Amino acid sequence: MTRTHYHTCPLCEATCGLCITVENGQAVSVKGDKDDVFSKGYLCPKGASLGTLHHDPDRLRRPLVKKNGKFVEVSWDEAFSTVEKGIMPLIKKFGRDAVGVYLGNPCSHTLAGTLAVRPLLKAMGSRNIFSASTVDQMPRHVASGLMFGHPTIIAVPDVDRTRFMLILGADPVTSNGSLATAPNWPRRLRDLKKRGGRLVVVDPRTSATVRLADTHLAIRPGGDVFLLMAMVNVLFAENRVKPGRLADFTNGIETVRELCRPFTPAAVAAHTGLDPAQITALTRDLAAAESAVVYGRMGTSTVPFGALTNWLVDVINILTGNLDRPGGAMFPCPAHLPRKKKPGGRGWTLGRWQSRVNGMNEVMGELPVAALADEMETDGDGRIRALLTIASNPVIALPNARRVDRALAGLDFMVAIDFYVTASTRHADVILPPTGPLSTAHYDVAFYNLSVRNIAHYSPPVLEMPKEEPEAEMDKWEIMYKLALIFSGQGAGADIKSLDDFIIQMMVAGAAKKETSPFHGQEAQMLDLLSPFKGPDRMLDFMIRTGAHGDGFGLNPDHFDPDGLNLEKLKNLPHGLDLGPLTEMLPGHLKTASGRIELAPELMVKDVDRLAKTMDTAPAGLVLVGRRHLRTNNSWMPNIPALVSGPPRCVLHINPADAQNQGLRDGDPATIETRVGSVTAPVKVTDRIRPGVVSLPHGWGHDLEGVAMQVARKHGGINSNILSDESVFDPVSCTTVLNGIPVSVKPARGLG
């Protein structure tokens, strides 16, 4: 029997709609859904591979327990009982911090990873929480938290309406966008130019996005902070600061005027590698544009001044009056969150606790990944002796990868929620595989909060999950709840239904607690109306009904439109619901204690001092940057033949002048070395990278002993994180420097 299903692609932030044809229980084709309200038929090679991923014979269907050094398939009961026996004695003896958790990037792409993970983390009660956020995006959260009062209040580029877009350290045409959810970046950027707008891209490489740009500024890695400071300097010096209505609720404009004084375009020339006249002209053009937006991503975050650079992105959007206006940087209003109407809140802070070994700051309840190996390897009270990894591959994804690999091997116990035996999960004692991506429901909780249009799209599972033993599979949320029950001391035999009911009762009680709440006294009716669902679906229904476009359970016509949204309505919209372009959200959206934008938070003011001290140190020597490929997604999908075949991608890009200096020719093997490690890669001599910079892609290195992914092992590639140094980081956000790593490059005798 042939059936057609529509499903949002869960593989990256773009949230494309897919049209999936299923024959006899097999997804036989995956195409772009032409009727999807957001992606309108667009898809990339990764999305087209979703069926292959689901049906991959190497994908684990049954839990594995390591016995005598070898993985053995076991029943779910035995797997959970092994977890309990391995973890609970450690907690009893050494306390809750003895068990750490590392949440991988795919967590934010699933309903379970965004909603069900919270009860699990609460039940664990450990301060040793780590996630992929501190690999490359915490600087963005820090800047938003300090300026707007909450780290998730992130302004996204209104790419569909802007007349001038300045992109720094991002290649959305290749990556499909990040912290700015929008399917089909190539079309959106071409449309910007078609309507007479201008695209300027700042990048040391000629990326795919650069190829669409009107202007390319090939900056030195790490120079973005100087460029942006100089642009702020020009805005003030030429009296081009025009915040418009933002001035009514912005503190600190005069402080910023003083801070930027020393950073003239001429003063930053050595750090940016750019002509001062180019910086002045760029600033004038941006300030004069009918609407404009500055957008920065990975390359602005994984640098020594990541938080400061992200702060400056917003500073320029604010000083030019382009924050919170069409064509500028705007705040989404997703269906699953309430719309805040009155400005003000508790404000936000970081550093509420520090990592035990090297005193790195907590940010958003997490410690930085740069601290993880130290916390696992250094003896003493609070040492991480057991680790839970969820959809993550720290041996590939984290800095100083070889050290992370050794540290995982030295743990007393490790549990992984993952459906592959990867470079990391090969160290686990127990692997708990969630069901495949086509057997689980989807709604992008994380990314509709970063979307360039307000969109709501719920996708039910495409294929039924096997429920009967011996083939029974479990959804990720069920695994998480089971672990939560173990961590909370209720044991591996406890039933997840009681926890699931308790969680929704708590959510409803929280919403109805205050006497002023529109839901006060309506708890029983609310629970009754939520009862057709369970797990994250039920949480989502609650969030949508109480959200900005919700029906308020039909109980509150004074506060909610009774014809508004609920999950049942969304389920009947297979192509999604377009809730329109972004609209003005300020000042009501602000959660700062003052209820105003804090343009000059103390931490940023102090960090400008640190920046000023580096002004006289001229950068020198070769530095390494990363790069993406349309067919890769960090370390996620290396076992899909269509995504890893073709010419080798782990090649070192090097400028002809540098190649000549090092005595390297195209195709020669080169040894690349840093303080922490060395790798050997063939070189590609290309003028698509500026002199002084070399580039390797990330997310590779899957050919390690024990990895049970046949395709990935064959196309192993080079793990660029062998070169990255966890001891070099931005001290404000504690994010490791991954772009601009000093390296030596020399000819190698043979490929390693």
Which positions lie near ligand SF4, rule CB under 6 A?
Answer: 9, 11-12, 14-16, 43-44, 46-47, 176, 183
Nearer to ligand SF4, 11 or 416 (CB): 11
CB of 11 to ligand SF4, least distance (A): 4
Nearer to ligand SF4, 43 or 103 (CB): 43
Nearer to ligand SF4, 113 or 382 (CB): 113
CB of 43 to ligand SF4, least distance (A): 4
**Pair of tokens at residue 622:** 């070769």
Alpha-carbon distance of 681 to 550, in angstroms, equals 54
Alpha-carbon distance of 439 to 214, in angstroms, equals 44
Alpha-carbon distance of 364 to 307, in angstroms, equals 14
| Complete DSSP assignment for 493-518 | TS-HHHHHHHHHHHHHHHHH-STTST
Give the N- to C-terminal CA distance of the chain in Å, as an integer.
50
CB of 583 to ligand SF4, least distance (A): 25
Nearer to ligand SF4, 37 or 704 (CB): 37
- Cβ partners under 8 Å of residue 317, min gap 6: 155, 293, 294, 323, 328, 329
Alpha-carbon distance of 237 to 260, in angstroms, equals 10
Nearer to ligand SF4, 176 or 634 (CB): 176
CB of 549 to ligand SF4, least distance (A): 23
Nearer to ligand SF4, 12 or 99 (CB): 12
Backbone angles phi, psi at 625, to 5 degrees: -125, 165
**Pair of tokens at residue 422:** 């990867």
DSSP assigned state of 114:
I
Nearer to ligand SF4, 82 or 176 (CB): 176
CB of 52 to ligand SF4, least distance (A): 13
435 CA to centre of own chain: 22
CB of 131 to ligand SF4, least distance (A): 20
What are the C-alpha distances in Å from 483 to residues 77, 416, 578?
Answer: 12, 11, 37
**Residue found by looking up tokens 């360039």 in the block:** 452
CB of 10 to ligand SF4, least distance (A): 8
CB of 46 to ligand SF4, least distance (A): 4
Nearer to ligand SF4, 137 or 291 (CB): 137
CB of 14 to ligand SF4, least distance (A): 4
CA angle in degrees (0–180, nearest 5) for 635-419-412: 90
The SS3 of residue 393 is: coil
Name which of 3, 8, 14 is nearest 571 in CA terms.
8
Nearer to ligand SF4, 15 or 250 (CB): 15
CB of 41 to ligand SF4, least distance (A): 11
Nearer to ligand SF4, 12 or 748 (CB): 12
- Cβ partners under 8 Å of residue 154, min gap 6: 140, 141, 144, 179, 331, 449, 450
**Residue with the shortest CB distance to ligand SF4:** 47
- Per this entry, what is the length of the chain? 752
**Pair of tokens at residue 535:** 């797990």
Strands annotated E in 446-602: 453-456, 577-581, 597-598
